[in-house]
Amino acid sequence: MTKLLPTSTAGSLPKPAWIAEPEKLWSPWKLEGAALAEGKQDALRLTLAEQQRAGIDIVSDGEQTRQHFVTTFIEHLEGVDFEKRETVQIRKRYDASVPTVVGAVSRERPVFVEDARFFRKLTDGPIKWALPGPMTMIDTLYDAHYKSREKLAWEFAKILNQEAKELEAAGIDIIQFDEPAFNVFFEDVQDWGIAALERAIDGLKCETAVHICYGYGIKANTDWKKTLGSEWRQYEETFPKLQASNIDMVSLECHNSHVPLELIELIRGKKVMVGAIDVATSTIETPEDVADTLRKALRYVDADKLYPCTNCGMTPLARNVARGKLEALSAGAAIVRQELEAV
């Protein structure tokens, strides 16, 4: 993009109350069949209009057509039995009943490609589309088939690559892989996590991104954050390897978090989507709060590589709060953009 500091969101945004219960994760659909299909398209129109009205430069589908950022993708694959459930620990944090991998995993048909084609027709501007990352996918399943985290992640990486190539063909400009698991399984990241991510982006010509965060503002995550101490140095473990990887952009959490911003220096050269909006609170940032975070980040990111963003998805927030935060993001970015252009 030629515009300095183009704004975007990490991915999910609140859904309208008529399609799913608001302020809730995993909220079930209120519609079904043809009404649901039409409702999803209307939700895509709405989220686009809200992002455009708030001045967001790189828009997203707001994950309006998915119930959950990982599970909805896996539901479309073969080899996973959703009836057969086991309890596992998600990201070493909380127990959850998860589906079982019972055979070879494969993608018989596209997952989000139709949604992407529909969304592409609604705007000429750049679109970012998020997919779950391979490591985060395996962390939400019980594997009774491959019995190897690495092997299963590799199979998912191949599947994600098929989906990503079709999203690219549908006109998506940036494809992002969500890897919150990168902040937890450091040895796996070193051993095979980055390799799996690079397999997922193999051969793509559009821009590629990875989003690594400390999660939605739900209780399990906020409780976990309390155990991390005063300095969150998790990025230090993964950034050197990411810096050396083929990924174009890194989306990370900065605002109100305990991440020492100098860690961003470790990915110098990459485009950095700097989280300047806290998603774990309903307090709406002022434009000056946002500007302040961006100015601090500018010490470690070249201005032409800084992309103001949210810390994570905003799906559990009230719609008016999310709208306010998007407006603050745009206004804060505008302040710093003006300062940069005045020099």
In the complex, least distance from residue 266 CB atom to Zn ion, rounded to whole angstroms: 19
Residue type, 173: D
312 touching Zn ion, by CB under 5 A: yes
Give the interface size with Zn ion as a residue count (CB under 5 A): 2
Task: Pick the piece of the chain touching Zn ion (CB under 5 A) from 29-37, 69-77, 94-102, 305-313.
Answer: 305-313
Binding mask 168-207 for Zn ion (x = CB under 5 A): ----------------------------------------
In the complex, least distance from residue 47 CB atom to Zn ion, rounded to whole angstroms: 17
Angle at 205 between CA 202 and CA 207, to 5 degrees: 95
Query: What is d(CA 208, CA 71) in angstroms, rounded to the nearest whole number?
Result: 22
β-strands 94-106, 78-90 pairing = antiparallel
213 touching Zn ion, by CB under 5 A: yes
Q: Between residues 47 and 136, which has the closer beta carbon with respect to Zn ion?
A: 136
Task: Pick the piece of the chain touching Zn ion (CB under 5 A) from 82-90, 106-114, 208-216, 315-323.
Answer: 208-216
Residue type, 293: T
Binding mask 265-304 for Zn ion (x = CB under 5 A): ----------------------------------------
In the complex, least distance from residue 287 CB atom to Zn ion, rounded to whole angstroms: 23
Q: Between residues 221 and 330, which has the closer beta carbon with respect to Zn ion?
A: 221
| Cβ(66)–Cβ(72) below 8 Å | yes
Q: What is the dihedral of CA 46, 330, 249, 188, to 10 degrees?
A: -80
The closest alpha carbon to 267, from 238, 307, 298, belongs to 238
13 touching Zn ion, by CB under 5 A: no
| 183: Cβ contacts below 8 Å, ≥ 6 apart | 91, 212, 213, 214, 234, 235, 238
Instruction: Enumerate binding residues for Zn ion (CB under 5 A).
Output: 213, 312
